[in-house]
């Protein structure tokens, strides 16, 4: 049996990842059947702990938070019941809203990009995406969208943090992007335009 394809969406908060991943999920389900939509932080036990830190219910050191995301990702990939690998092996396509580029972007500082890339070899040896869509959106626009759509802000949803995260994404894509099939998407385009570009690219990797 042919393995499923692993498709990842990346970008700052409010860039449109969850909107487009849901649309693509529906399209792949209609066209090929059996597709799985997932996200990070996950809804598993480590992901729940992370969400409690992000919404300030639990206070934790930021290095601890950075390493929790790595643990959450390893479980996301390798969990014997619900891990991404179990779906791919059954021929099911998997779409993930965020993956390791998020760690490279959100945890520098306090962790270094070198440290994060090295630590992630445990993850990249298990799984790399077949395609990564990076939705590039100016921070100003992301903040406008977040103001409209979210009642509560998590600890990273500030202008200063998102500017740093944007620089980090660009640096990480420059360093690691050659190892992955990365497609940069203009986040200022309409949802329809983005959906068209993404589905066109997907048709080149999914027969």
Cβ atoms within 10 Å of 155's Cβ, excluding its own? 12
Query: Shortest approach of ligand ADP to residue 21 CB, angstroms?
Result: 8
Site stretch for ligand ADP (CB under 6 A), options 7-15, 28-36, 118-126, 156-164: 7-15
**Using CB under 6 A, which of 5, 6, 8, 15 touches ligand ADP?**
15
Indicate which of ligand ADP, ligand TYD, none lies near residue 69 (CB less than 5 to 8 Å, by partner kind). ligand TYD
* Cα separations in angstroms, 91 against 6, 156, 203: 10, 36, 16
Neighbouring C-alpha atoms within 13 Å toward the C-beta of 190: 3
Is 156 near ligand TYD (CB under 6 A)?
Answer: yes
Is 38 near ligand TYD (CB under 6 A)?
Answer: no
| Residues numbered 134-173 forming contacts with ligand ADP, rule: CB under 6 A | 145, 149
Is 102 near ligand TYD (CB under 6 A)?
Answer: yes
* Cα separations in angstroms, 31 against 25, 35, 202, 203: 10, 10, 12, 11
Please say which residue, 34 or 55, places its beta carbon nearer to ligand TYD.
55
Per-position x/- string for 105-124, each x denoting binding to ligand TYD as judged by CB under 6 A, each - no binding? -x------------------
Cβ atoms within 10 Å of 154's Cβ, excluding its own? 15
How far from the centroid of its chain's Cα atoms is residue 6's Cα?
A: 12
Per-position x/- string for 174-203, each x denoting binding to ligand ADP as judged by CB under 6 A, each - no binding? ----------------xx--x---------
Alpha helices in the chain (DSSP H): 17-32, 45-54, 62-78, 84-89, 100-106, 113-119, 121-124, 139-149, 159-176, 191-205
CB 13 within 8 A of CB 146: yes
Query: Shortest approach of ligand ADP to residue 11 CB, angstroms?
Result: 6
**Using CB under 6 A, which of 5, 7, 10, 11 touches ligand ADP?**
11
- Partners of 134 in beta bridges: 10, 184
Q: How far apart are CA 167 and CA 200, in angstroms?
A: 28
Contacts with ligand TYD, residue ranges (CB under 6 A) = 13-14, 17-18, 40-41, 54, 69, 97-98, 102-103, 106, 154, 156
């Amino acid at each position: 049996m042919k393995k499923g394809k692993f498709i990842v969406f990346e970008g700052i908060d409010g860039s449109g990842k969850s909107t487009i991943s849901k649309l693509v999920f529906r399209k792949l389900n209609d066209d090929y059947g059996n597709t799985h939509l997932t996200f990070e932080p996950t809804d598993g036990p480590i992901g729940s702990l992370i969400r409690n830190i992000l919404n300030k219910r639990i206070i934790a050191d930021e290095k601890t938070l950075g390493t929790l995301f790595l643990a959450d990702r390893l479980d996301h990939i390798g969990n014997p019941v619900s891990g991404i690998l179990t779906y791919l092996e059954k021929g099911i396509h998997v779409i993930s809203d965020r993956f390791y580029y998020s760690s490279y972007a959100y945890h520098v500082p306090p962790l270094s990009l070198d440290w994060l890339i090295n630590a992630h070899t445990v993850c990249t040896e298990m799984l790399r995406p077949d395609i990564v869509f990076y939705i590039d959106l100016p921070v100003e626009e992301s903040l406008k969208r977040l103001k409209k759509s979210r009642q509560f802000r998590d600890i990273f949803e500030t202008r200063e943090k998102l500017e740093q995260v944007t620089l980090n994404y660009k640096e990480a894509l420059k360093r690691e992007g050659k190892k992955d099939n990365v497609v940069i998407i203009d986040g200022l385009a309409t949802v329809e335009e983005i959906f068209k570009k993404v589905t066109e690219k997907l048709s080149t990797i999914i027969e």
